[in-house]
Amino acid sequence: MTRVAASPANPAAAAAHFRHLLSVETDPADLRADMEDGAGGFLVLDVRAPEHYAAGHIPGSISLSAKDINAESTRDLPRGDVLVTYCWGPGCNGADKAALKLAELGFTVKKLIGGFQTWKWDRHPIATGTDQDAR
């Protein structure tokens, strides 16, 4: 059994690791702060099934199911923005799969840590319905 104190990374390796994580992940608090500050340059993608999006989603996000991501379905997405993907929650890897597909298509991406469930747990606002911000 490996213990916490066994073979820790040296500080430089740890710094590189966490710098990398921060380059590909964001959390609900940082995302909401950017939304409230009016920071531009990012688009939030709900990659769950459309019916889950309709039942509740992050305000301003657009629905694009992970299974439907391809060159055609992403043709109108902004190439200069960071695409932030999220799925249901910590036990779902749909956001990872979507981010991988998007990165392979040449998009800059980040994953929302904890997905929609963590967004809700943190008591951030939730929108319902199918209306999407036309970008």
Please determine, looking at this structure, whether the domain spanning 26-121 carries the CATH number 3.40.250.10. yes
Chain-centroid distance of CA 18 in Å reads 17
Q: Which residues pair with 36 in a beta bridge?
A: none
Chain-centroid distance of CA 77 in Å reads 15
Question: Could you report the average pLDDT of every consecutive run of 10 residues in the chain (135 residues)?
Answer: 79 97 97 96 97 97 97 97 96 96 98 97 95 56
Q: Which of 128, 132, 134 is nearest to 51 (CA)?
A: 128
pLDDT at res. 133: 53
pLDDT at res. 1: 60
pLDDT at res. 134: 41
3-state secondary structure of 42: strand
Q: Which of 102, 35, 90 is nearest to 66 (CA)?
A: 102
CA dist 113 and 92 (Å) reads 11
